[in-house]
Amino acid sequence: MAKTHNLIRLPFAWHATSALGVSIVQQAIGLVRHILIAAFFGLSREFDAYLVVYGLVTMVVFNLTGVFDTVAVARLVQIRERDGEKAFWHASNRLLLQSTAFGALFAIAAIVLLWIAMPILTAGFTAAERSFVGHIAWYFIPWIVIAVPYYALSAHLKAVWQFSWVFAAEIVVMLVSIALLLLDHTTVASLPIAYGGGYAAAALLLLARRGFKRTRSSDQPQLLNSMSKQYLATQVGTATGVADRYFQSYLVPGGISALGYVGLIVNSLSSLMTFREIYVVPLASEVGREQKLERMLQGLVLISIPCTLFLVVYAEPIVSVLFQRGKFTPEAAALAASILRIQSLGLLISTILAPLERMFQILDRLLFAQLRYLIAFIATFIFQSFFVFYLAMDVQGLAWGWLCNSVLVLCLVVVMVRHCGVVIRWRGIFGNAAFAAVTTGVAMGISWPIASRFSGLSELIMASALYGFVIASSYFAARARLRLIIG
């Protein structure tokens, strides 16, 4: 058993390290794309409209990536281990063919649902602004059609531990979309077209690597059935997104755009710190599951706490250096920085919440996932009504509502994971969190007095160098602690 456990540790540590390195490259390329988008479109009602459609399409279609990453990948791994290579290919082929058909169906469903939900999503918009939302939605169709089979191709390669090809495909998405955006950025409609082209190129790359093996089997894997249940369960969470969009429609013009730009920064860091969720594969195996989950949570707090404080303190120069050019004015940068400070506080919560929530899908405890979404939906109305309407805090109020909601959901998920039979020893996690907090405080105390004498890019470079050096030195001094986590 000990030998098996060590064999599991080694590939995961290797792939986690690889994921971190590749993700840094991805985030750098993605950052270039975000800078271009900010310069081309700034804070505008047109970009608000794009984000309204993107938000709905994400809830209906793009959140399928979570279903594929948890249910599909986990089931494919289990089928391969239990039934062999032939059954694995049979299940994967069926999934790919079904996903290709569902891509078109989801595109139609997204357009229909947008028109049905338009009175809620755009409650605070004018008639002309609502008309533009309906117009731009048609440009999302190619993107949707290709995205679903792309997820199936990625699931196959992840199940056989070929993460590097999936990471490479994501880089292709970014590079192709950047190239298309540079060629045409006259209107915000260019964005979904550019993304669709990127996914098409990446899907071809994954298909070429995956190949296609014809199989015949009398067994019919219940893969799609399990995914359907999980998808329907997550749609309870869609209600939360729709409610959230209702409150966003009452923000000042450009407020939704500001939330979107800040979300790009926070979500990119969150994705980077969770190693692109490749932990789903090792957690799908029952061998040492609780120990692996504990080590992941310990590692996440050591990474996320320093990042959180850095974003809070240096929010203004970060936003100014990244986005303040073209149509992104100094006023827009100041608004975005104020939001970044608030949302950064939720970075620690989101990184811890990610692997805990995935346990519901891995253990097939969908009732708990539905309960989590229901509580989040109710909390959204309570918190956003209080901050946005009662206190009239506008976009900053919406961000505070998100933070309060995240704290509540985290507490709920911790309790429910325990009820799933997963016993987590929180003492070690809290110990590492305290160590990270003290180290972070010392690093900021040393770096800020020196870095604050500079401005703009110079301030960020000086702050990053000093801050990172102190934290890296402290973690190196405590490398025995880190070895216990890495394994």
Provide the CA 216 distance to its chain's centre, in angstroms: 37
Whether the pLDDT of residue 49 is over 80: the answer is yes
pTM check: above 0.85: no
Q: pLDDT-based confidence at 3, cuts 50/70/90?
A: very low
From the number of C-beta atoms within 10 Å of its C-beta (0-12, 13-18, 19+), residue 311 rates as buried
| Stretch among 64-68, 329-333, 453-457 having the lowest mean pLDDT | 64-68
Distance CA 322, CA 310 (A): 15
pLDDT reported for residue 239: 75
Per-residue model confidence (pLDDT) at position 467: 96
Instruction: Kindly state the tokens that stand for 475.
Output: 């973690």
Provide the percentage of residues in the chain whose pLDDT is more than 70. 89
pLDDT of residue 236: 67
Q: What pLDDT digit, counting tens, does each position of 413-432 carry?
A: 999 988 888 888 888 899 99
pLDDT of residue 406: 94
**Range ranked top by mean pLDDT from 158-162, 201-205, 367-371:** 201-205
Task: Check residue 136 and give its pLDDT.
Answer: 95
Tens of pLDDT along 310-354? Answer: 999 999 999 999 999 889 999 999 999 999 999 999 988 988 888
The pLDDT of residue 1: 42
The most confident of 152-161, 162-171, 374-383, by mean pLDDT: 374-383
pLDDT at 73 over 60: yes
Is residue 122 within 8 A of residue 249, CB to CB? The reply is: yes
Examine the pLDDT at 361 and tell me if it is beyond 70: yes
pLDDT band at 7 (very low <50, low <70, confident <90, very high): very low
User: Looking at the predicted structure, is the pLDDT value of residue 70 above 80?
Assistant: no
- Is the model's pLDDT at 19 over the cut of 70? no
- Average confidence (pLDDT) over 449-467: 93
| Separation in Å, CA 384 to CA 227, 338, 341, 389, 403 | 32, 18, 18, 7, 11
Q: Tell me which DSSP letter residue 139 carries.
A: G
- The listed range with the strongest mean pLDDT (28-37, 209-218, 373-382, 438-447) is 438-447
Residue partners of 422: CB distance under 8 A and separation at least 6: 289, 290, 293, 359, 363
- CB-based burial of residue 483 (10 Å sphere; 0-12 exposed, 13-18 middle, 19+ buried)? exposed
Q: Would the pLDDT of 128 be above 90?
A: yes
Reported as a single tens digit per residue, the pLDDT across 261-307 is 998 888 878 777 765 455 555 666 666 677 888 888 888 899 999 99
For 378-403, give one letter per residue: b (16+ CB within 10 A) or e.
ebbeebbeebbeeeeeebbbbbbbbb
Domain positions in the chain: 45-221
Distance CA 68, CA 186 (A): 35
Q: How confident is the model at residue 2 (pLDDT cuts 50, 70, 90)?
A: very low
Res 162: pLDDT: 81
Whether pLDDT at 483 is above 90: no
**pLDDT band per the 50, 70, 90 thresholds, residue 224:** confident
pLDDT at 20 (0 to 100): 61
- pLDDT higher than threshold 50 for residue 232: yes
Question: Comparing 325 with 483, which gets the higher pLDDT?
Answer: 325
pLDDT per residue as tens digits for the range 170-190: 999 999 999 999 999 999 999
Q: What is the mean pLDDT of the chain?
A: 86
Residue 13 vs residue 95, higher pLDDT = 95
* pLDDT over 50 (residue 480): yes
